[in-house]
A and B are shown apart, each in its own frame.
Chain A
Amino acid sequence: MSSVWPVLEPILPLVSKPARYIGGEDGAQVPEHGPGRVAWLLAYPDTYEIGLPNQGLQILYEILNERPDAVAERTYAPWTDLEERMRAEGVPLFSVDTHRPAADFDVLAFNLSAELTYTNLVGMIDLAGAPVRAADRAIDDLLVGAGGHCTYNPEPIAAFLDFVVLGDGEEVAGEISAALAGWKAARVAGDPVTRHDALTALAGVTGVYVPALYQPVTDAEGRLVATRPIDPAAPELVEKRTVADLGQWPYPRQQLVPLTEVVHDRLNVEVFRGCTRGCRFCQAGMITRPVRERPAEQVRTMVAEGLRRTGYDEVALTSLSTADFSGVEDVVGAIVRSGERPAPADEGEGQGPGSSLDCGAGLGGPGAGLASDISVSLPSLRVDAFTVGIAAEIQRARRTGLTFAPEGGTWRMRQVINKLISDDDLYGAVESAYSQGWRRMKLYFLVGLPTETDEDTLGIATLARNVVEIGRRHHKNPSVTVSVGGFVPKPFTPFQWFGQNTRQELERKVGLLRDALRRDRGVQLKWHDPRATTVEGIMSRGDRRLAAVIEDVWRHGGTFQEWSEHFDLQLWLDALERQGLTVEELAYRHRTEDEALPWDHLSAGLHKDFLWQDWRDALAEVGLEDCRWTPCYDCGACTGYGIEHVVASAVPPAGGSQGTGPSPAAVPVALGRRPVPAGAG
C-alpha cells in the first residue's frame, strides 16, 4: 500500500487547519483494496469543513464499503495553501482515510451541489494526476464521475466527466461497481480491454449518462437542436434513479464524527426525501419527487443509536420541509424526552415559576432547569404557527432565533412561485414565536423572480417592518435579519425558461431594499453577491461550450469561487469573451417553448409539458396544491417509474394555508386547470 503521508506530514505544520487532512474520524474506514474490487475515491470539490457533513457522500461511502466488489475512500479540496505546497513537492490528491494517492483508485466520483465548485472539480482532477479532459484519458487513468443536484444539467462540465449519475445513489452505486468489476479484473490481468469498454458498460446502467457517447446537434446558426447518442450502447433518454423505499436504506449507519469543526457538526437523520409543495423556483423539490418518508420507528432508532455512538448532543431531522413529516410532533417529543434527566433539587433556584413569557432578561429561558441535554434542529421549516409549536416543544431552553423563508415579498409574488404563504401565516408565526420567547427572526427572500415588480421587491421591506412591529409588542429590541438571494433559474423546474435578471437589475433591487430599510432600526439586510449569482446562472443552464470557460478560469487561478475572498467575476467575464460567449445568451434571455434545452436528453421523470403548463400557471398567478394529499397532477415522477408517495399520514398537517388549516377557504388561492381537491373550491 502506498501512502503520501511521509511527504505530507512535514508540510502540515505549515498550512492552515491541518486537521482537515488527517482523517481518523469515528466511522472512518480502512478498506482492503484488491484486484477484484473497484476502488472509489469519493470527492467533494470544496473544503473538508463543507464537504465532510455531506450525507450523500457518507451514504455511498458506507454502501460501497459493504460490497465485496468495491472499496471507497474520501477526499476533499485542499485549501490553496496546501495545494500550492502539494504542487511544489509533487504530492498528488490523496484520500484522507489511508492517504493513498488518487492514482491508486479506479474511480474519482464527485458530489456536485453548487455550480461555483466546478473549477475546483477541474483542479482536483488535475491534482489527481489525470488529464482534465475525459477525451485525453488513457486506459490506466481514473474514471471521473459525478452525482448530486448539479448533474441534472451536467453539460457545462461534460467534457471533464467520464460518467454522470442522475438521482438517488444508493442502488446505482452498487450497479456501477458491478459493471466495472469485470472490466477492472480484465484490465489488471492484461486482457485486451479498452476505456471505451468501460464507458459502454457504464452507459448500460440505468441512471448513468456517459457524455462521450452523445453529440450535441446544432443548426446553421449554431443553436442547439438536440443532444443525440452516437453509440448503440447509449440510451436516447437517460432516466434518473429513485429509491422507492427509504426504510430499506437506513444510512449512514455510522455517521462520520470529525475531529475538527465542520458545518452542520451534529447528528443528521434524513426523515424523508422528496417534496411536493411545488415551489416553482425550487429544483430540489422538482427533481427528488415523489415524497418518501422514513418509518417513524426507524427515525427514532437512528436518532437514539446515532446519539449514543457519536456523543453528539444535537440531532437534525433533515428533509426539504421537516414540519411536513407525518407525526413530526411525536417523533421530536420522544427525542426530547429521551434526552431529559431529572433536575437535581438545587438546580433552577432563582427561576420564576416558568412563565413562558418571562424571558426578556436573557438568562434562564422557560424550563431552563429541566433543559434537555439533546437539542433537535429542524432545518427547512414551514411558515406557520403550527411549526412554531413544534419549535417550542424542542427548544425549551435556547430560544434565540427562528428562521422562516417566505421567499416572496407579496402574496401575488408568492402565488407566482407557488409558495402559498399568506401574510397572515407569517405574522401568525412570528407572533407565536415572539410571544413564546424568541427574539430574533431571520427571513429568507429571493429577488429577481419571474414577473417581479418593484412593489413585490419593496413588499419584503414591508413584511420585515411589520414583523419588527409585532416583535415590539413582546420585547424591547426585537431584531429581524432579512437575507436576500438573487434567483437563479434551474433545469427541470417551471422556471427553466425564464431569463435571469441581469446583474445590474439584481443590484438595483438590493439597492431598493437598502434604501427602504435604511432608517428601520431592528432590520438587518444581508444579500448574496449578485456577481456570484450571475456566474451561477451561466452554469445552471449552460451547455458544453462552457467547459472551455471553466477550464480557462481554473487555469487563471480561479478556484474556491464559492468563497467571497476568492470569487472573481472578471476571470469569468474574460473567459467568456475569449470563447465568444455572452452572459446575455447564456443566462439573461428568456427561452422559448420549442427551444431545445441542453438537458433534454436527461430526465428527472417530469413531463416537459407539465413543467411548461406550470410555467404558464405561474405567469397567470395560479397556485397549485400539494399533490401528496390531493389528486395527481401527472407531473410524471410517480407514474413514469411505477412508484408512489410514501406518506404515513393521509391528511396534511394542520395550520396555515399550506396545510388544510382551520379554514382553507379563507385564503384566496386561485386553483386552476387540474383536479381541484374536494372542499377547496
Chain B
Amino acid sequence: MRLRVRFSKLGKVRFTSHRDVARIWERALRRASLPVARTEGFSPRPKLHFGLALSTGYESLAEYLDVDLVEGTIVDLAVLPEALTAALPGGLAATAVATVPPGTPSLQHAVTSSRWEVEVHDLDLATVTARTEALLAAPELVTTRQRKGKDVSDDVRPHLLHLQPQAHPAEGVLLVAELGAQNRGLRPSELVALLGDGAREGRVRRTHQFTEHDGTRCEPLPAPHALERAS
C-alpha cells in the first residue's frame, strides 16, 4: 500500500537540506511505528519516494512524499497527519495523507510546475513589473546554467508559466511565480537572476505543486482545507 503525504517546511528548519529531510522522515516514520516496506538485498532501505527537491533555505507549504507500507497494513488515515507531525521536528508538519492507487505516476514525473512566493529585495514594484513583463514578452530566453559541472545553454522561457509581482507588506516586492518543473525547470534563484541588475533574492516559499491530469491541473494531494471539506 502506498501513502502520499503532503507536508510543510517552515521557519528555522528550512535550512536543512533535501537529504536531511529524507533522514528526518525515516526516523519520524519509525517513531510513529508505521511499518514501512523495505528494499530487498544487501542493505535494505525503507521504500520512500520523494518529490521534487526543495533547495536548502526555501520554505514550503506543499512538499510531497510517497511511502510504501508493508502489505496488509491497516492505518487510520484520519489521525495520521497529527501522529506524523508529532514525530517530526518543529517546523515540519504533515498536512494531508491519502492512499494512492497502484500505477499512479511517481511524484518526480507527475509534477509539471510549482508556484512560488519569491521576495525580491532592492528593486521597487514598478521596476520588477516592467522587467517581468519584458521576460514574458520575450520569444525565448536562452541562459547558460551549470549541469553536472558543465555550462549548458537552455531556453528557459517555456518554464515561465505565470509571473505576478505585488507589493510586499514588509519590504520590497513579492513575486508570485509559477515555474515549470520538468526538464530541469527553472529555480526561483534563476528567476531572480533573470530580473537583472540589482535584484536580490529574499525569502522564498513554495505554495503549490501541480500535476496535469487529462488536461486539467491539480495538486498531488488537495490542500488540507479541501480535504476537510471532502470528508
Which A residues are closer than 8 A to B by beta carbons? Answer: 12-13, 17-19, 21-26, 257, 259-261, 265, 308-313, 341, 344, 347, 362-365, 368-369, 371, 397-398
Q: How far is the CB of A477 from chain B (nearest CB, A)?
A: 16
CB interface residues, B 45-62, toward A, < 8 Å: 56-57
Q: Are A312 and B15 also in contact (CB < 8 A) when A344-B70, A397-B43 are?
A: no
Q: How far is the CB of B116 from chain A (nearest CB, A)?
A: 15
User: How many angstroms from the CA of A377 to the CA of B135 in the assembled complex?
Assistant: 56
Contact present for B71 and A259 (CB under 8 Å): no
In this complex, what residue of A is CB-closest to B58?
A: A13
Contact present for B17 and A260 (CB under 8 Å): yes
Contact present for B16 and A260 (CB under 8 Å): yes
Partner of B89, one of A26, A312, A364, A369: A26
Contact present for B40 and A24 (CB under 8 Å): no
Partner of B71, one of A12, A341, A344, A369: A344
Contact present for A311 and B16 (CB under 8 Å): no
Q: Are A397 and B44 also in contact (CB < 8 A) when A19-B17, A19-B20, A22-B15 are?
A: yes
Partner of B23, one of A25, A261, A308, A369: A261
Contact present for A259 and B13 (CB under 8 Å): yes
Q: How far is the CB of A313 from chain B (nearest CB, A)?
A: 6
The segment from B27-35, B142-150, B160-168, B209-217 found at the interface with A is B27-35
Q: Are A363 and B16 also in contact (CB < 8 A) when A310-B27, A311-B87 are?
A: no
In this complex, what residue of A is CB-closest to B20?
A: A260
Residues from chain B with Cβ under 8 Å of A259 in the complex: 13, 16, 20, 24, 89
User: How many angstroms from the CA of A311 to the CA of B28 in the assembled complex?
Assistant: 6
Q: How far is the CB of A136 from chain B (nearest CB, A)?
A: 36
Residues from chain A with Cβ under 8 Å of B102 in the complex: none
User: How many angstroms from the CA of A26 to the CA of B88 in the assembled complex?
Assistant: 9
Q: Given known contacts A24-B13, A310-B31, what 8 new A-B pairs fall within 8 Å (CB)?
A: A23-B12, A24-B89, A25-B89, A260-B20, A310-B27, A311-B28, A311-B30, A371-B44
Residues from chain B with Cβ under 8 Å of A257 in the complex: 27, 89
B198 within 8 A of A: no
Contact present for B26 and A311 (CB under 8 Å): yes
B90 within 8 A of A: yes
CB interface residues, B 167-224, toward A, < 8 Å: none
Contact present for B15 and A18 (CB under 8 Å): yes
Bin chain B's interface residue count: 20 to 34
User: How many angstroms from the CA of A347 to the CA of B44 in the assembled complex?
Assistant: 12
User: How many angstroms from the CA of A26 to the CA of B90 in the assembled complex?
Assistant: 9
User: How many angstroms from the CA of A2 to the CA of B56 in the assembled complex?
Assistant: 26
Partner of A362, one of B15, B40, B42: B42
In this complex, what residue of B is CB-closest to A23?
A: B12
Contact present for A398 and B30 (CB under 8 Å): no
Q: How far is the CB of A402 from chain B (nearest CB, A)?
A: 16
Q: How far is the CB of B19 from chain A (nearest CB, A)?
A: 7
Q: How far is the CB of A310 from chain B (nearest CB, A)?
A: 7
Residues from chain B with Cβ under 8 Å of A21 in the complex: 15
Residues from chain B with Cβ under 8 Å of A312 in the complex: 27, 30
Q: How far is the CB of B9 from chain A (nearest CB, A)?
A: 11
Residues from chain A with Cβ under 8 Å of B101 in the complex: none
Residues from chain B with Cβ under 8 Å of A363 in the complex: 41-42
Q: Are A368 and B40 also in contact (CB < 8 A) when A26-B89, A308-B31 are?
A: yes
Contact with A along B4-21 (1 / 0, CB 8 A): 000000001101110110
Contact present for B20 and A368 (CB under 8 Å): no
Q: How far is the CB of A623 from chain B (nearest CB, A)?
A: 41
In this complex, what residue of B is CB-closest to A347?
A: B40
Residues from chain B with Cβ under 8 Å of A310 in the complex: 27, 31
- Interface pairs (28), CB distance under 8 Å: A12-B57, A13-B15, A17-B17, A18-B57, A19-B15, A22-B15, A24-B90, A25-B89, A26-B89, A259-B16, A260-B20, A261-B23, A310-B27, A311-B28, A311-B30, A311-B31, A311-B87, A312-B27, A313-B26, A341-B35, A344-B71, A362-B42, A363-B41, A364-B41, A368-B40, A368-B41, A369-B40, A398-B42
The 5 A-B pairs of least Cβ separation, nearest first, read A311-B27, A311-B31, A18-B15, A311-B30, A22-B12
Residues from chain A with Cβ under 8 Å of B158 in the complex: none
Contact present for B28 and A18 (CB under 8 Å): no
Q: Are A261 and B15 also in contact (CB < 8 A) when A311-B26, A397-B43, A398-B43 are?
A: no
Q: How far is the CB of B101 from chain A (nearest CB, A)?
A: 21
Q: Are A261 and B57 also in contact (CB < 8 A) when A24-B89, A368-B42, A397-B42 are?
A: no
Contact present for B30 and A24 (CB under 8 Å): no
Contact present for B13 and A22 (CB under 8 Å): yes
Residues from chain A with Cβ under 8 Å of B42 in the complex: 362-365, 368, 397-398
User: How many angstroms from the CA of A163 to the CA of B115 in the assembled complex?
Assistant: 56
User: How many angstroms from the CA of A362 to the CA of B87 in the assembled complex?
Assistant: 35
User: How many angstroms from the CA of A308 to the CA of B29 in the assembled complex?
Assistant: 11
Most buried by B among A17, A25, A26, A364: A26
Residues from chain A with Cβ under 8 Å of B90 in the complex: 24
In this complex, what residue of A is CB-closest to B41?
A: A363
Q: How far is the CB of A85 from chain B (nearest CB, A)?
A: 15
In this complex, what residue of B is CB-closest to A18?
A: B15
Q: How far is the CB of B87 from chain A (nearest CB, A)?
A: 7
User: How many angstroms from the CA of A371 to the CA of B40 in the assembled complex?
Assistant: 10
Residues from chain B with Cβ under 8 Å of A347 in the complex: 40
User: How many angstroms from the CA of A86 to the CA of B111 in the assembled complex?
Assistant: 39
Residues from chain B with Cβ under 8 Å of A309 in the complex: 31
User: How many angstroms from the CA of A365 to the CA of B42 in the assembled complex?
Assistant: 6
Q: How far is the CB of B178 from chain A (nearest CB, A)?
A: 23
